[in-house]
């Protein structure tokens, strides 16, 4: 949802618009989400894990990479190897990389070789630092036909002559401008635009299918649509998801599969999901689909502090699990994080949010890895901004077997993994830098390639166990 790297039009009008998304009073959902110990990897038995080529259950922890300010010859200039190197050094293994159709195809049928090479260069850096990447077809307020926004090219924008009025202090309200809503409807319904969007994805997937850093493709960022007179936002969201997004995703999936049959496809609901509205998406007929909603709260997007008693977080969790349970697909949170992480309740927010996501999601990408203020992970000197270091925790990046228990106690900074080896293979744990380092203990028929990680160093520990050899338990504690 955030439009700019360092600046967000976070005003009360945003909260007023998004508050309409909530289907009913939140008071019924008010619970204390704190936990002494949080589980890692999807604990919900109805939601499958995301897996790699070896069949290992993955946990992905990372950040979004996006440069919305530069375009054309300067596109992606703000994303450098430093970003991938620093992310990996803090223990993160995942990035969601925003790419823009308007840069890829500036004229109909003319794809930018320079832009494709820049994407590949970022992927090369990611591979060098062992970071998996999802390619995100990003859009904000449709694209550059509407002010300074990015995404879908101006040549693929049809407004029916309807008005568009910029909202300098409330960019999200621009989604409800008549011209923008018409543009989305034409993208979904006009046959030539459908073919153009499918070709774009086929070109992108065909170029990147063999790159070792690629995990998959996020088919469109935060899709919106046209509301009908008298229709509520939740009703409009479900209708758009069911009747327009579902067939669009199927078209793009079919196009990608003509070039790449290996990687995962990530599908998003409308932003209404962020306020606890169950999605209306239907089934996408493909064996490697991931549900990838975003996780934003309207009040915090407007710059307010986290309110643990509001009921927003448990309402979101209760709503978000319906689709992956019904469709038996993994969940990955594609974006999350507050505008101002320094407010008094933000330590509690990170604890509650990480605990909640660990119950149903195979991983997440916070918004965003950059060096500055607002949403940036780091300040200008390369230090975590307030409370954002809480995202750097131990976790099992890949488990060669069936996870029985995986938990982290943030108060003791102690991590524990128990699993039943189901195949010969390596289980990998990632341990972020810690002042006292880490001490590892392995119990059961397995052996780790390291039992101590020195202070201040990121650790990657590989555990080998034979298939069917009995339960393995690995613990990591400071010291």
Count CB neighbours of 107 within 10 A: 9
Contact of 410 with 403, CB cutoff 8 Å: no
Per-residue pLDDT at 39: 66
Per-residue pLDDT at 105: 98
Per-residue pLDDT at 16: 41
Distance CA 112, CA 102 (A): 10
Contact residues for 440 (Cβ-Cβ < 8 A; gap 6+): 429, 448, 450, 451, 452, 453, 461, 474, 475, 476
Sheet bearing 446-448, strands edge to edge: 57-58, 395-399, 425-431, 459-465, 446-448
Calculate what percentage of the chain has a pLDDT beyond 90. 86
DSSP 170-227: -GGGGGGSHHHHHHHHHHHH-HHHHHHHHHHHHHHHHHHTT-TTEEEEE--SS---PP
Determine the 3-state secondary structure of 396 from DSSP. Answer: strand
Query: For residue range 47-82, what is the model confidence (pLDDT) as tens digits?
Result: 999 999 999 999 999 999 999 999 999 999 999 999
DSSP bridge pairs for 265: 217, 289
Grade residue 470 by pLDDT with cuts at 50, 70 and 90: confident
The model's pTM: 0.94
Distance CA 68, CA 372 (A): 15
Query: For residue range 281-335, what is the model confidence (pLDDT) as tens digits?
Result: 999 999 999 999 999 998 999 899 999 999 999 999 999 999 999 999 999 999 9
Determine the 3-state secondary structure of 325 from DSSP. Answer: helix
Per-residue pLDDT at 133: 98
Contact residues for 261 (Cβ-Cβ < 8 A; gap 6+): none
Query: For residue range 357-390, what is the model confidence (pLDDT) as tens digits?
Result: 999 999 999 999 999 999 999 999 999 999 999 9
Per-residue pLDDT at 36: 55
Q: List the one residue out of 316, 472, 398, 358 whose CA is nearest residue 44.
A: 358
Distance CA 462, CA 71 (A): 41
Per-residue pLDDT at 78: 97
Element (H, E) at 126: helix 113-128
Q: List the one residue out of 64, 65, 61, 123 whose CA is nearest residue 92.
A: 61
Evaluate if residue 163 carries a pLDDT over 90. Answer: yes
Instruction: Give alpha helix (H) positions in 68-112.
Output: 81-89, 101-104
Distance CA 169, CA 163 (A): 18
Query: For residue range 77-119, what is the model confidence (pLDDT) as tens digits?
Result: 999 999 999 999 999 999 999 999 999 999 999 999 999 999 9
Per-residue pLDDT at 31: 40
DSSP 229-262: TT--HHHHHHHHIIIIIHHHHHHHHHHHHTT-SS
Contact of 182 with 219, CB cutoff 8 Å: no
Grade residue 22 by pLDDT with cuts at 50, 70 and 90: very low
**Mean pLDDT of all residues in 348-360:** 96
Grade residue 24 by pLDDT with cuts at 50, 70 and 90: very low
Evaluate if residue 159 carries a pLDDT over 90. Answer: yes
Distance CA 438, CA 434 (A): 7
Contact of 319 with 273, CB cutoff 8 Å: yes
Query: For residue range 397-450, what is the model confidence (pLDDT) as tens digits?
Result: 999 999 999 999 999 999 999 999 987 789 999 999 999 999 999 999 999 999
Distances (CA, A) of 92 to 280, 293, 320, 369, 430: 32, 20, 24, 11, 8
Per-residue pLDDT at 19: 47
Query: For residue range 203-229, what is the model confidence (pLDDT) as tens digits?
Result: 999 999 999 999 999 999 999 999 999
Evaluate if residue 395 carries a pLDDT over 50. Answer: yes
Evaluate if residue 260 carries a pLDDT over 90. Answer: yes
Distance CA 163, CA 296 (A): 29
Grade residue 45 by pLDDT with cuts at 50, 70 and 90: confident
Q: List the one residue out of 359, 259, 286, 348 whose CA is nearest residue 317.
A: 359
Per-residue pLDDT at 34: 45
Per-residue pLDDT at 32: 43
Distance CA 440, CA 433 (A): 14
Per-residue pLDDT at 40: 56
**pLDDT, averaged across the chain:** 92
Per-residue pLDDT at 275: 85
Between β-strands 459-465 and 214-218, what pairing exists: parallel, antiparallel or unpaired? unpaired
Residue with tokens 């606890």: 276
Contact of 266 with 216, CB cutoff 8 Å: yes
């Amino acid at each position: 949802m955030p439009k700019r790297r360092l600046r967000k039009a976070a005003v009360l009008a945003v909260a007023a618009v998004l508050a309409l998304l909530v289907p009913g009073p939140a008071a019924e959902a008010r619970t204390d989400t704190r936990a002494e110990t949080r589980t890692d990897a999807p604990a919900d038995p109805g939601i499958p894990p995301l897996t790699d080529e070896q069949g290992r259950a993955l946990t992905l922890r990372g950040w979004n990479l996006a440069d919305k300010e530069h375009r054309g010859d300067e596109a992606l200039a703000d994303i450098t190897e430093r970003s991938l190197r620093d992310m990996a050094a803090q223990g993160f293994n995942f990035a969601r990389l925003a790419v823009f159709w308007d840069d890829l195809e500036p004229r109909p049928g003319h794809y930018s070789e320079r832009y494709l090479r820049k994407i590949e260069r970022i992927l090369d850096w990611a591979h060098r630092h062992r970071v998996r990447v999802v390619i995100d077809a990003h859009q904000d307020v449709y694209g550059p036909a509407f002010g300074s926004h990015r995404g879908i090219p101006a040549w693929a924008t049809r407004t029916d002559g309807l008005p568009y009025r910029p909202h300098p202090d409330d960019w999200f309200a621009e989604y409800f401008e008549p011209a923008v809503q018409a543009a989305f409807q034409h993208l979904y319904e006009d046959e030539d635009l459908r073919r153009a969007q499918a070709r774009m994805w086929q070109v992108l997937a065909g170029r990147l299918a063999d790159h070792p850093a690629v995990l998959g493709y996020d088919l469109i960022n935060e899709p919106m649509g046209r509301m009908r007179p008298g229709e509520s936002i939740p009703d409009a969201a479900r209708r758009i998801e069911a009747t327009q997004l579902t067939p669009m995703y199927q078209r793009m999936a079919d196009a990608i599969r003509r070039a790449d049959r290996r990687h995962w496809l990530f599908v998003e609901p409308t932003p209404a999901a962020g306020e606890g509205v169950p999605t209306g998406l239907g089934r996408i007929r493909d064996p490697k689909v991931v549900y990838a909603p975003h996780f934003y709260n309207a009040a915090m997007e407007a710059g307010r502090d986290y309110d643990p008693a509001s009921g927003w977080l448990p309402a979101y969790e209760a709503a978000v699990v319906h689709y992956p349970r019904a469709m038996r697909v993994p969940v990955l949170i594609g974006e999350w994080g507050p505008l101002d992480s320094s407010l008094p309740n933000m330590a509690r927010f990170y604890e509650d949010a990480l605990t909640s996501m660990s119950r149903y999601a195979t991983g997440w990408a916070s918004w965003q890895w950059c060096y500055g203020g607002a949403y940036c992970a780091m300040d200008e000197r390369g230090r975590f901004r307030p409370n954002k270091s809480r995202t750097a925790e131990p976790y099992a990046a890949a488990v060669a077997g069936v996870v029985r228990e995986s938990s982290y106690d943030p108060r003791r900074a102690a991590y524990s993994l128990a699993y039943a080896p189901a195949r010969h293979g390596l289980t990998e744990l990632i341990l972020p830098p810690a002042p006292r380092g880490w001490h590892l203990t392995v119990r059961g028929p397995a052996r780790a390639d390291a039992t101590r990680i020195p202070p201040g160093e990121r650790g990657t520990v590989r555990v080998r166990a034979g298939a069917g050899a009995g339960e393995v338990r690995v613990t990591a504690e400071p010291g």
